[in-house]
Structure 1
């Protein structure tokens, strides 16, 4: 599956637009998984753990997008938009939306 934020491909032509597809993942506990109480006060380790957690949530969201596009027998998803919200309470939500297409 090809993902792109653009609306077309170089050297490839879109044969059919199959519809809008999306993926969304919400996780409350991403930032505290595997972090000891002591490490919460080590900002370098704390931020590294948050970054790792956000990456996991993002990858899970793209996998959902891929699964939804595959259900439509798409070759690619164009015009991808990624939205991310992180709350002060430690919750993260990632939403990815695009248009599933068939390529010639």
Structure 2
């Protein structure tokens, strides 16, 4: 599956728009001090894992719509109370040829 933040895919023609798809993921983190490089690495690893899970869900949702690409992808990261963070990935599922 092709994933892109752009609205077109060079060398491909969008033949059908299937709909908006999302993928979300959340992670719980304990309160860390941002002054410690080790803690920053742990937080970065957790965020990357959550982002990967969100992208996997996005692709699964696009596949259910019989799409072979997702265009116009945006990624949003939100934090709540300093303990949780949420990753949301949104795009338009399309069929390209």
Same fold flag (TM > 0.5)? yes
Q: Which secondary structure state, in structure 2, belongs to the residue aligned with residue 7 of structure 1?
A: coil
Change (3 A) 1:6 1:42: closer
Rg comparison, structure with higher value:
1
Tell whether 2:9 aligns with 1:6: no
Q: 1:46 aligns with which of 15, 39, 43?
A: 39
Tell whether 2:96 aligns with 1:86: no
Q: What's the C-alpha RMSD, in Å, of the aligned pairs?
A: 1.9
- After TM superposition, give the deviation of residue 90 of structure 1 in Å: 2.2
Aligned match of 2:16: 16
Structure 2 segments unaligned to the other structure (5+ residues): none
- After TM superposition, give the deviation of residue 26 of structure 1 in Å: 1.7
User: 1:48 & 1:88 partners in 2: Cα distance?
Assistant: 20
Structure 1 segments unaligned to the other structure (5+ residues): 33-38
User: 1:43 & 1:10 partners in 2: Cα distance?
Assistant: 43
Q: Normalising by structure 1, what TM-score?
A: 0.84
Change (3 A) 1:54 1:41: closer
User: 1:51 & 1:97 partners in 2: Cα distance?
Assistant: 21
> Greater share of strand residues, 1 or 2?
2
